[in-house]
A = this chain, B = another copy of it.
């Protein structure tokens, strides 16, 4: 697969997703071989206008696993500080002369698209703005389902927690809507329900979904429980146990099902769950490396 830039999840069709996931599967062999000479002379620049050590490390690990090299800054706002006043566009044009691919984390919605417009090298969006995109997170979530459940068509998934503001569950719902016979169970406090733009989209594409207030009620029916972070402040007035998962819930989860979480977690998941083989959230982290390797290859081979 050849990609020019990776800016938003909407740019991926189902055939592209299938191809991407096949590439990601193959990346494990490259990791085992310690990279490939094809990328040993390529430089990835991490241009992070916001701190996100986790995402930056994941991309940098992916590039190193390919055999490539890294330029990194956690302080890209240096480039465009008020004092200096440089535009994002000028900074990107400069960094494009220093590197072969730019991974950008920007604080404004649309920052990555603006970067792609002026860059002479590929741009990958590592998150732009609170309400913006974080496409590689959505792709690694979907890839984890593909890898763990062996199919995305027909998957039954419960999404639990703050669905109103959760970027990951919103993007994942959108992507899952492209597949066949998917069933979505939204489990959220009344004030944090999945927003109407997503439910409208699902209805329009005839995707089955339901809204519940208690995970325990449907946990025995699902392939995936996707937990999200609930800040302490958001838990006020919420009955304990409803949006949290522990052994009492796990014992009703089918044997081949999994628990996912985008991390970092607060205490939505009891530590006792960590040892359960169905706890997939740290494997999800590792899958992120494979998906990002596949995306880097797709843009570098362009």
* Residues in A lying within 8 Å of B, measured CB to CB: 33-35, 40-43, 45, 51-54, 56-58, 60-61, 64-65, 67, 69, 71-76, 78-79, 84-86, 90-91, 93-95, 97-99, 263-266, 282, 285-286, 289
**Is A76's CB under 8 angstroms from B93's CB?**
no
- Known contacts A35-B41, A99-B61; is-contact A76 B53 (Cβ 8 Å): yes
Query: Which residues of the other chain, B, contact A35 by a CB distance below 8 angstroms?
Result: 41
Listed A/B pairs (11) with beta-carbon separation below 8 Å: A41-B67, A43-B65, A53-B75, A54-B79, A57-B71, A61-B71, A61-B98, A74-B75, A91-B264, A93-B282, A93-B285
Query: Which residues of the other chain, B, contact A57 by a CB distance below 8 angstroms?
Result: 45, 71, 73, 95, 98
**Nearest Cβ on chain B to A28's Cβ, whole angstroms:** 13
Most buried by B among A33, A43, A64, A67: A64
Most buried by B among A57, A60, A85, A93: A57
**Is B286's CB under 8 angstroms from A85's CB?**
no
Query: Which residues of the other chain, B, contact A52 by a CB distance below 8 angstroms?
Result: 78
